[in-house]
Amino acid sequence: MKELFAAQRRNAPFVKETTARMRIEKLLKIRHYLLTNRSGLVKALYDDFRKPAAETELTEVFSTLNELNTAIHHLKHWMKPHPVPTPLGMLGTSGFVTYEPKGVALIISPWNYPFYLSIKPLVSAIAAGNTAILKPSESTPETSAFLRVMTETLFSEDEVAVVEEGPSVAESLLELPFDHIFFTGGTDVGKMVMAAAARNLTSVTLELGGKSPCLIDETADLKTAARRIAWGKWINGGQTCVAPDYVMVQRTVKDRFVREMREAIRDMYDADGRGVQASESYGRIINDRHFQRLDALLKDALSKGATVSIGGQTDAADRFMEPTLLENIGVKMNLMQEEIFGPLLPVIPYDTREEVIRFVSGRAKPLVLYIFSRKESLTQFWLDRTTAGNTVINDTLIHFAHTELPVGGVNQSGIGKANGFYGFQEFSNARGIVKRQFDVLSYIYPPYSDKVKKLIELIVKYI
């Protein structure tokens, strides 16, 4: 690890000098490799956790291409000096911001979207002119191998390298004085990453998780809401950091919502009546450890009074857990104390909007807040009284692929932002530059005569 880091550090000054055209060529090589070898990526993800091919195309291939294309099209503009207005107190100067690479970056990516969430920050790191070491998850070995072969094919290891193996390797990497660390994963591990980074005063981007609420008021189109929530919750087998973690629905429409959810699940995953487990459109839990964690959450909830409205079937040997809707939820249940990160969806009825605000605001700030409403004033009510990393109105997940928006959490759910320019900015040092064009300041230099004092008084008075 030390030798690899040292090699990238030696090379970083040369990579820093690359032009926009040279960086774009690197991004074009990644895009070409992905398009040429996409069948291999589909197989790798299926082998890792039976991810449906269509989901790989949508959430791994499309999303990555979207990020690549944005950087390719806009990088020349991002790299140009950005002029800023001149305030009155800076009369006689001009100012601008340039974005320079931070240097050597470490990217630690998760297992749930193992390709996209590795390449997305790598695109930003390359666009910003950094070298990078990528540490993908050991839980998806086939996809990690695909990433390693791709980077070895396209880059020298003193520019981009993939390091495989387990947590001990990540710990060794975190001891090194990287210039920036981009981590995607759970909040608890994120805290450890930040603590390790602090020892070297390394800047961090932390894309974490949290309990993202889904709020449904009485005006919502329940059929549409149910289909969009079902898609957002159970894509990738429910293993999505920005998936709805629980639903709060106005009590008067709760039963209709549950009925619509049942129809949506059947249409998506059991249209032929053979059961969800036989569906080619539904994935599996990543490994036995995570299956056991989710099974324990389900059993704990049931033991404390929760009831299964939809689903509930499990098969440990197949790591299968059916899309499951739970009601009669209590706040002391473990699934309301931690991010679920799986196919369990608690449904909580409410009577007043103030009740919802107290419930949501009494917890850590969520990664995303989802709002379903057909009334603008009610939507604005939720927006004005809540805080979240991002918010989506009348849909789920779509913000994550919106390359013109800053995407990320707040406090417990994350630090820093990604996507498009915001990802480029994370891997860059925003260097403010001011240039003196004509002299004004010398009129107030010492000695501080009466004339100078009066001039300073006027400046303070009228600034």
Assess whether 241 carries a catalytic annotation: yes
Residue burial 34-47, b: 16+ Cβ < 10 Å; e: rest: beeebebbbebbbe
User: In 85-162, where does DSSP find H-type helix?
Assistant: 116-127, 141-154
Residue 315 region, left (φ>0) first, then alpha (ψ -120 to 50), else beta?
beta
Query: Is the separation of the CB atoms in 109 and 121 below 8 Å?
Result: yes
Assess whether 207 carries a catalytic annotation: yes
Length of the chain, please? 463
Residue 329: name the closest of 299, 312, 307, 298 by CA.
Answer: 307
Residue 184: name the closest of 414, 430, 437, 440 by CA.
Answer: 414
Q: Who's near 329: CB < 8 A, 6+ residues apart?
A: 246, 301, 306, 335, 336, 346, 347, 348
- Catalytic residue, candidates 60, 159, 214, 241: 241
Between CA 389 and CA 61 the distance in angstroms is 25
Kind of pairing, strands 93-101 and 82-84? Answer: antiparallel
Provide the terminal-to-terminal Cα distance of the chain, rounded to the nearest Å: 54
Residue with tokens 């324990």: 296
Between CA 9 and CA 60 the distance in angstroms is 30
User: In 135-240, where does DSSP find H-type helix?
Assistant: 141-154, 167-174, 187-199, 222-234
Q: Nearest 5 degrees, angle CA 383-CA 385-CA 390?
A: 45
- Catalytic residue, candidates 207, 322, 339, 426: 207
**Which residues are catalytic, by number?**
207, 241
